[in-house]
């Protein structure tokens, strides 16, 4: 057999193998909720079939490794990238994500920080020609069977926390990046309800009091939550007793770095979670939850 025929057969075999792997991936209709081990930061990957949603991407490039391990190498498109707040421990890998993948949509709370790396992120998102939007409570996103409902911040809250002050909520131009008071960055963090069938997870970003308690008292909390992502890496300035009581989750997840300089998670927060199964990326590494919309389990 000539070399050209050998190359042709090898190419044909490789093509068939890739097609088979792609079909196997598409046949798995379960939702995967992955809390990546990104060190001291947040990095969440949500995927089902060929749909991928990035919610925060850690402080460095560790998220890229997590993404490559869960995303087929031939799939170079990410349907949605979400930045819950403009701190670098939430967007470290996003710049490279925009450079390496085709990103269809980019969502943030519309709050910016004046630092060079955030300006680069804005530039890369614009260069990629992704649809750029800011969201407030009441706005929903649905991609296939995956639903994200924005619970926080409200439009009125954004008005109060930005500088200069806007005269009314109606005067805020959503989609533009607004300068926030330094102490308000966490309080304007995006908070989502992730739903897939009967499975619900509360993704809280870095939301902090008094926003945490305002959120806990809202009507959206009257849900049977399977998973609570603990706010702000387990800081004592994140989770509150009212949020624990209103969510009463089956599982709590803390995303923090091993031996981090902030002492996260704080003992005050861990005490609030007593009696609730709690997993931590600093101790447990990557945490993956798989659900068919009715039942759910931790992936081993």
Q: Give the pLDDT confidence of 61-107 residue by residue, as tens digits.
A: 999 999 999 999 999 999 999 999 999 999 999 999 999 999 999 99
Question: What pTM does this model have?
Answer: 0.87
- Judged on CB neighbours under 10 Å (0-12, 13-18, 19+), 226 is buried
pLDDT at 6: 54
Q: What phi, psi does 70 have (nearest 5°)? A: -110, -15
Domain 28-289, second-level architecture: 4-Layer Sandwich (3.60)
**Nearest of 140, 141, 83, 138 to residue 112 by alpha carbon:** 83
pLDDT at 68: 95
Low-confidence ranges of the chain (pLDDT < 70): 1-27, 163-183, 219-222
């Amino acid at each position: 057999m000539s070399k050209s025929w050998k190359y042709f057969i090898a190419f044909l075999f490789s093509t068939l193998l890739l097609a088979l792997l792609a079909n196997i991936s598409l046949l798995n209709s379960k939702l995967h909720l992955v809390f990546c081990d990104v060190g001291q930061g947040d990095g969440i990957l949500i995927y089902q079939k060929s749909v991928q949603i990035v919610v925060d991407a850690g402080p460095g490039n560790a998220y890229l490794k997590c993404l490559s391990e869960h995303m087929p190498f031939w799939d170079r498109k990410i349907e949605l990238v979400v930045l819950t707040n403009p701190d670098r421990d939430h967007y470290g890998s996003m710049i490279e994500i925009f450079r390496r993948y085709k990103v269809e949509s980019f969502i943030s709370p519309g709050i910016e920080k004046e630092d060079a790396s955030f300006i680069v992120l804005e530039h890369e998102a614009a260069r990629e020609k992704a649809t750029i939007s800011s969201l407030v409570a009441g706005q929903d996103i649905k991609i296939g069977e995956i639903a994200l409902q924005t619970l926080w911040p409200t439009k009125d809250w954004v008005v109060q926390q930005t500088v200069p002050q806007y005269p009314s909520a109606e005067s805020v131009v959503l989609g533009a990046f607004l300068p926030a008071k330094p102490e308000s960055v966490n309080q304007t963090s995006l908070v989502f309800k992730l739903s897939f069938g009967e499975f619900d997870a509360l993704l809280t970003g870095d939301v902090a009091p008094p926003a945490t308690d305002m959120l806990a008292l809202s009507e959206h909390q009257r849900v049977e939550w399977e998973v609570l992502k603990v706010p702000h890496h387990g800081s004592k300035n994140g989770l509150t007793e009212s949020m624990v009581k209103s969510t009463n989750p089956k599982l709590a997840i803390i995303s923090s770095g091993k031996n981090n300089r902030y002492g996260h998670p704080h003992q005050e927060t861990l005490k609030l979670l007593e009696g609730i199964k709690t997993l931590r990326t600093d101790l447990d590494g990557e945490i993956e939850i798989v659900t068919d919309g009715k039942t759910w389990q931790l992936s081993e």
